[in-house]
Amino acid sequence: MDLNYSQEELSFRDEVRSWLEANLPQDLRDKMARYDHLSRDDLVRWHKILAKKGWVAPAWPKEWGGTGWNVVQRYIFEEELGYVGAPPLIPFGLTMCAAVLLQFGTDAQKKRFLPRIYDCDDFWCQGYSEPGSGSDLASLKTRAIREKEHYIVNGQKIWTTLAHYADWIFCLVRTDPSGEKRQEGISFLLMDMKSPGITVRPLILMDGAHEVNEVFFDDVKVPVENLVHQEGKGWTVAKYLLGYERMNTGRIGESKRQLAKLKKFAAPMMGDLRFRDRLSRLEVELMALEITNLRFLDRMRRTGQPPGADVSMLKIKGTGIQQGLTELMMQASDPSASDDFADAIRKRYLSMRKTTIYAGSNEIQRNIIAKMTLGL
């Protein structure tokens, strides 16, 4: 096992870092530094800058616009994005839907959707969670009944991130309720958000932000050609997708940037031994998380296989570290301060409470590790 970067990989990191420093617009950099809300235009603008450079979809095959980078180079690129403070590349199209289409989609589906995802001509969201079916995703109830060349979809999704921005949504729906196992009879559909019968309602989070939504489907007609993979085999698609989703939840580069910011902001607190101990523990945990991530990368580099169930470790530890950093930032701030930055710190603290819940709650991730990795 080799956890060190080669000289070529270090040179690649320097190239990426220099380009990002020179090409990240200052107004977007400032918004990220202030924890400001990012509009759809902000997100699309940064996406298109990277697309023009040819760096927006490194993991894609070269024939569809990928860079040809190996798994370590892709990891370096993702972490440098976080470390420089770039706006997030929204994963629902680029990482999730694209990975599914490349693995399971027809040639017609790839030609129709992938170029528009690459150029961000279509903004995507994910329709997985439902009331009562969050981490227990296989209990979903949204129904899709086939009528000739369409599916008729009825049901509800919840906590749908950025659905109010989205042009398209990929959804898990139940096409056959008669299966002995709940994972049977689920299908994966692509749905145009402009379709009649789709209603999006905002859910305001405790930090005051409009980030997630309820999405309702009332007799929504979806063409049969928008079914990905086989009818009733959507659970196979969902499992494939979730491994890639959880590989990116560690956000090590972002946490490194926040740690450096915390050290600078909290300098007056360094005389407090308890505070300094908590900060040191978080820094050690972040270093250990990075080494764990590199272990996964080394395995993927050697085997060419996608991440397994044990990738859930990255999600558990990564989100815990993210929350810990915001807790220390809150502790170091003046609770009576009323300036914009102090308000932003409080909002970020509240916003980061959700990280241990999304992409499968950390409690569920521990169950996955116990069952699939430890055999308990």
Residue positions annotated with a catalytic role: 245
CB-based contacts of 299, cutoff 8 Å, min separation 6? 305
Query: What type of residue is 368?
Result: I
- Give 306's DSSP letter: P
- Whole-angstrom distance, CA of residue 96 vs CA of residue 12: 26
Element housing 204 (H / E): strand 198-204
Q: Is there a contact between 113 and 189 (Cβ–Cβ < 8 Å)?
A: no
Give the three-class secondary structure for 4.
coil
Q: Count CA atoms closer than 13 A to 143's CA, side-chain side.
A: 9
- End-to-end CA gap in the chain: 27
List, as own/partner pairs, every contact residues 53-60 make where C-beta atoms lie below 8 angstroms and the sequence separation is at least 24, other chains included.
53/19, 53/23, 56/89, 56/94, 56/118, 56/120, 57/94, 57/98, 57/117, 57/118, 59/95, 59/99, 60/98, 60/102, 60/114, 60/118
- Give 163's DSSP letter: T
Structure tokens at 176: 């056959």
Element housing 172 (H / E): strand 168-174
